Amino acid sequence: MSEQKKVILTYEGVKKLEEELEFLKTVKRKEITEKIKVALGYGDLSENSEYDEAKNEQAFTEGRILQLENMLKNAVVVDESEISTDRVSIGSKVKIKDYEFDEEVEYVIVGSAEADPINYKISNESPVGAGLLGKKVGDVVEIIVPEGVNKFEVLGIRRD
């Protein structure tokens, strides 16, 4: 049997996953059970799209519950008090200058399970996240991204 991959999370990430899991187990399961009951009342299951839809939703939800439980079971939580401000690490808030767009951006480096690029949370496994790991303030780094090569300068490193 293969060894489970460790899931790197911040305390905030663990809390979000636990909240989603609780919602799915309590609220969502009840909603789906009710949908199935209603659909069963429509009769013939062979042509009952409401029943098929509810069963598909149930399968998806149960799959997500298993996925969340597995992620939490294999979680390695980053101790925010141990996050270095000398070098970029998981949990760091890093302010960078993006030379391609000539702008300053601040990212939080998180594990892949927490990545949310729209909210400036990038994975330690993404090209930019991996390229910034271990860098210090003042370092200029060129990182291969899908569009080519981008140049970044580390302007600041902090933790919340």
Q: Is the pLDDT of residue 151 over 70?
A: yes
- How far apart are alpha carbons 96 and 129 in whole angstroms? 11
Confidence of residue 48 (pLDDT cuts 50, 70, 90): confident
What would the DSSP string read from start to end of 107-124? EEEE-GGG-BGGGTEEET
Identify the CATH number of the domain in which residue 64 sits. 1.10.287.180
The residue among 25, 45, 78 that closes a domain is 78
pLDDT on residue 64:
96
Q: Do 74 and 103 belong together in one domain? A: no
What's the Cα-to-Cα distance from 46 to each of 34, 41, 59, 63, rounded to whole Å?
19, 13, 18, 24
Q: Count the domains in the chain.
A: 2
- pTM passes above 0.85: no
pLDDT > 70 fraction of the chain, expressed in percent and rounded: 97
pLDDT digits (tens, 9 = 90+) for 95-145: 999 998 899 999 999 998 899 999 999 999 999 999 999 999 999 999 998
Say if residue 18's pLDDT is above 70: yes
Q: Count CA atoms within 13 Å of residue 87 on its CB side.
A: 6
Cα–Cα distance between 143 and 145 in angstroms, integer? 6
Same domain, 21 and 62: yes
Domain boundary (78, 109, 131) is at 78
pLDDT-derived band at 31 (thresholds 50, 70, 90) equals: very high
Same structural domain, 86 and 151:
yes
132: containing domain:
81-159
Domain-located, residue 29:
yes
Residues 97 and 72 in one domain: no
What is the DSSP secondary structure assignment for residue 56, as one 8-state letter?
Answer: H
Residue 1 lies in a domain: no
Q: 116: left (phi > 0), else alpha (psi -120 to 50), else beta?
A: beta
DSSP code at position 2: P
* Cα–Cα distance measured from residue 128 to residue 154, given in angstroms and rounded to the nearest whole number: 12
